[in-house]
Structure 1
Amino acid sequence: MTRYETITCDIDKGIARLTFNRPETLNAMDRRMMDEIIDALEVITRPGTASVGIIAGRGRAFMAGADIKEYSRQTPEQFNLFQEKGRRLYALIEQAEIPFIAAVNGFALGGGFEIALACDLIVAAASAKMGLPEVHLGLIPGGGGAQRLLQRIGIGRVKEMLLLGQSYTASRMEEWGIVHAVAEDGMLDDVVGALAEKLQRRPALAVKAIKAMLEPSGTEAPFETRLDREGVSVAALFHTPEAARLIKQFTEKSK
């Protein structure tokens, strides 16, 4: 793998782990870091490279959003490019053929929380805090955080989170259906690792189809259109050697 300055990225036995590595800034994302994350994601998501991706943060934070010092000095052109690259980053996660787990170890705020929301599953340490505080800067979330939250929870809760700009505990996020599981402090890596191994055992073609079926842009299509797409996908899967083998295996065990 390429050596990076602001992140680390390793692939071991099919499980890729991308770690934000600017702990002195609570992993705040500057332009270099965004470029490196995108580069690493492009490698991880190449077909046949990895079967599961984990995104984590080093130190006390997952990611505390954009690097405000750099952010505040951007020209309009730099700002627009930063936003465009952000959309590319989130799309690489959401549109990947493999599942991604966000391992939220500490603060996941602003853009950091948006990256977690782009992942398929979020596992958070008990002491983690998450939120979208942009309103305190006179801004709104710019990376699709509000839209992704609407895919997970009701509009009332989304308005609360954006209007108040508060941070929420891992247990509250689990209660609202945003976080998949809460791990005891010090046990996050173990819980995420076990989940990654479980996902790795799922048939790759079925996982790919599930991700495509539930990709946010697709869920906005008319209900009948979504049903049609689902029917086409399950028919295609049914005729694959993998499904034939697993169905045969299941029926033989049931005898």
Structure 2
Amino acid sequence: MTRDVPESAVRAVAEAAARTEQLLASLPGPTARVPEQRDRAAASKNAVRTARHALLRDHAEAVYDRLTEGRALRLRLPDLVAAAAETFPGLVPTDEQMKAEQARPQRAKEGLEIDQGILLGGLLRAPRAGTHLMESMLQPTERALRLLPEFRRTGVVELSSVHLERRGSAAHLTMCRDDCLNAEDNQQVEDMETAVDLALLDPRTHVGVLRGGVMTHPRYQGRRVFSAGINLKSLHAGKISLVDFLLRRELGYIHKLVRGVMVDHEVSWQSPTIEKPWVAAVDTFAIGGGAQLLMVFDRVLAAADSYVSLPAAQEGIVPGAGNFRLGRLTGGRRSRQVVLWGRQIRAAEPDARLLLDEVVEPSELDAAVEVALERLDSPAVLTNRRMLNLAEEPPDAFRAYMAEFALQQSLRLYSEDVIGKVGRFARAGRAR
């Protein structure tokens, strides 16, 4: 049944999972449990997670080969998780279980995404499986491939949260969630990956730029904003997904900004990916996930009245691959000030130059963007950015980080402090 994976280990996981499911079904929902019931549920979950971890620690390569038919299939994260649920009963929650879980607010969930984090962390930690999975996530999405003929013909694609337009040889990506200050959720990650794919696949595009659009939010009406980071209201409502947001974001469009999109092309023998240089232009602020984005761009411009912050300790979650990249850019001491202490870095202060290449007056940002796009539109730039990224961010180092991130972020999502913080944020928003 499970070629090269010991039947005894598979059976142990399935039996432990069945016992846990039976116990949870006999208890009230998570928010209605008394302390003794919470303790029993936690102990049972811990037992099955120990079995899952052991299976993946010892047999991750074989599990992945089974799921991908010997790495012949290129499965993206949702398809890989679904295949695992079907092939190895009890290893991860079923699709039916996840649909029921996703319908609940964050505080009322059982935390089934932790089990997905155990699976994906174990697979990423395995060298062959993890490398193959990262390459699979660099493939263009089906949605982008469907939209590519239209974009090549018209140079414009309007998505629900991102506007993409080719001007000359540059692709302009504008984040346009004007109601929530470009706070990211599952939909924006979907739209961003689609837009990045299109810009990379379009032969008439040589360079890309990302900027925030003009806001209708009352506090910033009429102003451009880069990004407010993760949408905490969506997290409180249980609408931020480990697989479709937190992991897809890092292994999908952000990693494509670094490595390019992996697709067969005329000179695949030179490089398996199609890469392009990228510019970011920051208006007002780049908070959280917005700050994470800046760390992968080839040139970062900012308005003099803007600031950057990465308030991970305040939110309680791990700031994506920000911890992986920030120390290289700013040094360990500053990265701890930003991540652990919540330090904001104003564009006008000297330390901002560790994250920002050029700071100009807000009225001059448009012109600075055009100069940057022209300078980066060069074959020599393309080759050298590839070599810089290889030296600064070796794929195996990134894979090892993402393996641990998959587990630790899944645990953070269901920690009491995070649930309490996002609940207070949501209540404050309703009060305003």
Please confirm whether the aligned pair reaches a TM-score higher than 0.5, indicating the same fold: yes
- Secondary structure of the structure 1 residue equivalent to 2:281: strand
Unaligned runs of 5+ in 2: 1-150, 152-156, 215-223, 261-274, 395-432
Q: What residue number does 2:227 align with?
A: 63
Amino acid at match of 2:323: A
Displacement of 1:213 in angstroms is 0.9
User: Which has the larger strand fraction?
Assistant: 1
Counterpart secondary structure, 1:214:
helix
Of 139, 150, 160 in structure 1, the residue corresponding to residue 337 of structure 2 is 160
Q: 1:208 to 1:131 in 2, by over 3 A?
A: same
The answer as to whether partners of 1:140 and 1:162 remain within 8 angstroms in 2 is no
Aligned to 2:206: 51
Structure 1 gaps of 5+ residues are: 222-255
Report the 3-state secondary structure (helix = DSSP H, G, I; strand = E; otherwise coil) of the residue aligned with 1:44.
Answer: helix
Q: Tell me how far apart the structure 1 counterparts of residues 193 and 165 of structure 2 sit (CA, whole Å).
A: 15
1:103 to 281, 284, 303: 281
Q: 1:138 to 1:180 in 2, by over 3 A?
A: same
2:392 is the counterpart of 1:219: yes
How much does 1:91 deviate?
0.7
TM-score normalised to the size of structure 2? Answer: 0.47
Correspondences of 1:102-181 after superposition (within 5 Å): 102-141=280-319, 143-172=320-349, 175-181=352-358
AA aligned opposite 2:203: G
Assess if the C-alpha contact under 8 Å between 2:294 and 2:355 holds in 1: no
CA spacing shift, 1:173–1:3, aligned 2, 3 Å: farther
Contact 1:63–1:111 (CA<8 Å) still a contact in 2? yes
Q: 1:48 to 1:27 in 2, by over 3 A?
A: same
Structure 1: distance between partners of 2:253 and 2:361? 29
Which amino acid in 2 is paired with 1:32?
Q
- Equivalent residues of 2:173, 2:210 under 8 A apart: yes
Deviation at 1:174, TM superposition (A): 5.6
What CA deviation, in whole Å up to 9, does each residue of 1:10-61 have, x standing for no partner?
Answer: 0111111101001221111111111011001001012624111100001341
- CA distance 1:95–1:125, change in 2 (3 Å): same
**DSSP 3-state at the match of 1:83:** helix
Match of 1:21 among 155, 161, 176: 176
Return the alpha-carbon distance in structure 1 between the equivalents of residues 330 and 308 of structure 2. 15
Q: Which secondary structure does the structure 2 equivalent of 1:187 belong to?
A: helix
By how many angstroms is 1:146 displaced? 1.9
Q: Contact 1:174–1:181 (CA<8 Å) still a contact in 2? A: no
Change (3 A) 1:47 1:9: closer
Give the Å deviation of 1:209.
1.8
Cα RMSD after superposing both structures:
1.9
- Decide which of 242, 250, 254 is 1:90's aligned counterpart: 254
Structure 1 length normalisation: TM-score? 0.78
Letter in 2 for 1:190: A
1:71-82 to structure 2, matched below 5 A, reads 71-74=235-238, 78-82=241-245
Query: Quick one: distance in 2 between partners of 1:72 and 1:208?
Result: 41
Counterparts of 2:345 and 2:391 in 1: how far apart (Å)?
29
Tell me what 2:423 maps to.
none
SS at match of 1:197: helix
Give a deviation string over 1:141-163, Cα, whole Å, max 9, x none. Answer: 1x211212122121111111111
Q: Between Structure 1 and Structure 2, how many residues are aligned?
A: 215
Taking only the aligned residue pairs, the percentage that are identical comes to 27
Partner Cα distance (1:220, 1:112) in 2: 19
Secondary structure of 1:24's counterpart equals coil
1:30 aligns to 2:185 (yes or no): yes
